[in-house]
Amino acid sequence: MAYRFLHTADIHLDSPLKTLALRNPELSDLIGVATRRAFIRVVDLCLEERVDALVLAGDLYDGDQTSMKTARFLAEQLRRLHEAGIRTFIIRGNHDALSKITTELLMPETVKVFGASAEAVAIDRGAGNIPVAIHGLSFAKPHAPQSLLRNYALPLPDAVNIGIMHTSLGGSEKHDPYAPCSVVDLQQSGFRYWALGHIHKRSVVEDAASVIVMPGMPQGRDINEDGVKSVSLVTIKDDRSVIVEERHTSVAQFERLVVDASRVAEWKAMIAQMSTGLEALRSAVAADHLVVRIQLHGSNELAWRIRRDLDLLRTEMETRGSMIGNVWIDKVQTSCSTPGGIGSGAGALSELASIIDGEVSSSTAFQQELISIAEELRAQLPAELRDIFGTDEGSFKEALANIARDGSSEVVARLRGAVGE
C-alpha cells in the first residue's frame, strides 16, 4: 500500500502585519486571518485525500508566540487530524525555535514534535507494506549558521527514509542563511525524500535516488510573497517511486500588475488600460481574493500628473476592483517619465527641473547628504529590512540614485500641478 503525506512549511500563523495595517484596515483584516484560513485548507486537504501524515517543515509560528488564541486554534486543527487517524510530524525552524506554544502545548499522541537532537521515527505499517522512517531535527536557537545534515541519523536499512529539514540550502536572495547545505549533499544522503522548509518559493529537484522539495508557503503575507502559494501532496508507491503533486491553498494571492503607459495620451484611456489589466489578472488567479500592486512605467506627457494624483488613481482602481469582485489594491506606483526627461520643455519650471536633475543631483554636497540620511535610516531598521538599500556598495549607490531621481520627479510633478504648467 502506498504511503501518502502532505508536506508544507512556513505557515507563520498569526504573523503580525506591517505595511498593510497602516494603509487599509479592511484589507489588513483579510490578510490578518489568511494564514489561519490557509492552514484550515491544509487540514481539509489532508482529510479529503485521506493521507497518512502531515509534515510541517518549520516556521509554523512567526516568533516567540504566546497567544493562547493561536494555541487553541492549532490544537483544534491537529485534533481534527488526530480523530481521523492522521499523524503529524513537526520540526521547528528559525522563527519558531523559541516558541512556547510548541514546547508547552499539550499535543495529541499522533503529533510528533522533533527536538534539538535528531530522531528517526519508524512507522508501523503492518506486514507486506514498505517500511517508512521519518527523520527530523528542530532548531535549538533562532540561528543555525552551520549545516545540520551531519546531525541526522543514518538512513534505516530497507526503509523509505523521509527527512524533514529547515534550511536555506545554498542561499536565497530574500532569505538569510540558515542551516545551509547543498542539493548534492542531500542527494547523496541516502534519503528518498527531503521535506524542506524556509525558502518561501517552491522548488522541486528529482533524480533517480531522491526527491528534494521546498514547498514554498501556503499563504503569502505581503507583496514580497507574491504569486501562487501551495503545498505538496506526496505519494510513495510500493515500488518506492515518488509522485509529488502541487495543490494551491492561497486564500488571498498577491500579484504585481505592470502597465506600460507610454501608448496612452489621455487620462481616461490610461484608467481604462489599467482596468483591463486588472480584469485579466483577476480571471487568471484562482485564489478567493486578489491583492494587486500596480506599477506604471513608460514615457508619457501625463507623467507629472500621474505622480501628483496617485491617490486618485488608487481610488479609481479600488472602485474597479470592488466591481470585479474580491480585488484589492495594495498600492499604485509610477516610474513614468516626461518625454525628454523631467526638465524637457520651455519655461522657468523646466529650467528648474534641469538644474535639479543635473547640477544639484550630481553635486558632492547633495550626494554626501543623501548617503548620510540613508545610512542613518538604515541603522534604525531591523536586520531583515536593511537590504532594501542594497546588499553591497554598488547596489547601495544605485538605490540612492533611484531614490534621488524619483524624488526629483515628485517635486517637479507637484510644482507643475501647482502652477498649472
Would you say the pTM of this structure is higher than 0.85?
A: no
Between 102 and 339, residue with greater pLDDT: 339
CB neighbours of 92 closer than 8 A, spacing ≥ 6? 58, 60, 99, 102, 113, 114, 138, 139, 166
Confidence tier at 19 by pLDDT (50, 70, 90): low
**DSSP secondary structure of 163-220:** EEEE--TT-BTTB---S---HHHHHTS--SEEEEES-SS-EEEE-SS-EEEE---SS-
Q: What is the pLDDT of residue 341?
A: 56
What are 337-378's pLDDT values in tens digits?
Answer: 878 655 555 455 566 656 666 666 667 777 777 788 877 787
As separate numbers, helices (DSSP H) first and strands (DSSP E) second, the chain gives 13, 15
Confidence tier at 421 by pLDDT (50, 70, 90): very low
- Which residue bears the cell 470585479? 324
Per-domain residue ranges for the chain? 3-248, 251-337, 345-421
Contact 302, 269 (CB under 8 A): no
Mean pLDDT along residues 213-220: 96
User: How much of the chain is helix, strand and coil, in % rounded to 5?
Assistant: 40, 25, 40
Contact 39, 13 (CB under 8 A): yes
Contact 162, 174 (CB under 8 A): no
Between 242 and 374, residue with greater pLDDT: 242
| Dihedral angle sign, alpha carbons of residues 239, 211, 90, 61 | negative
**DSSP secondary structure of 230-274:** EEEEEEE-TTS-EEEEEEE--SEEEEEEEEE-TT--SHHHHHHHH
What span, in angstroms and rounded, lies between the C-alpha atoms of 22 and 256?
A: 20
> Which residues is 259 bridged to in the sheet?
296
What span, in angstroms and rounded, lies between the C-alpha atoms of 346 and 342?
A: 11
The values of phi and psi at residue 202, to 5°, are -70, 140
Contact 180, 167 (CB under 8 A): yes
Q: What is the pLDDT of residue 232?
A: 98
Mean pLDDT along residues 205-216: 95
CB neighbours of 93 closer than 8 A, spacing ≥ 6? 9, 10, 57, 58, 59, 138, 139, 166, 178, 197, 198
Q: What is the pLDDT of residue 390?
A: 74
Q: What is the pLDDT of residue 207?
A: 92
**Residues constituting the chain:** 421
Q: Which of 166, 131, 161 is nearest to 149 (CA)?
A: 166
Share of the chain above pLDDT 70, in %: 80
What span, in angstroms and rounded, lies between the C-alpha atoms of 94 and 130?
A: 33
CB neighbours of 350 closer than 8 A, spacing ≥ 6? 343, 344
| Dihedral angle sign, alpha carbons of residues 220, 11, 7, 198 | positive
Question: How many Cα atoms are found within 13 Å in the side-chain-facing hemisphere of 296?
Answer: 30
Comparing 9-23, 56-70, 151-165, 290-304, which segment has the lowest mean pLDDT? Answer: 9-23
Task: Give yes or no for residue 1 having a pLDDT over 80.
Answer: yes
What are 328-337's pLDDT values in tens digits?
Answer: 999 999 988 8
Mean pLDDT (the chain, rounded): 85
Residue type at position 279: E
Task: Give yes or no for residue 32 having a pLDDT over 80.
Answer: yes
CATH architecture of 3-248: 4-Layer Sandwich (3.60)
Comparing 5-14, 125-134, 168-177, 228-237, which segment has the lowest mean pLDDT? Answer: 168-177
Confidence tier at 213 by pLDDT (50, 70, 90): very high
Share of the chain above pLDDT 90, in %: 54
What span, in angstroms and rounded, lies between the C-alpha atoms of 317 and 295?
A: 12
What are 66-89's pLDDT values in tens digits?
Answer: 577 888 899 899 999 999 999 999
Between 53 and 344, residue with greater pLDDT: 53
Q: What is the pLDDT of residue 419?
A: 47
Q: What is the pLDDT of residue 402?
A: 73
Task: Give yes or no for residue 279 having a pLDDT over 80.
Answer: yes
- What is the Cα 276 distance to its own chain's centre? 26
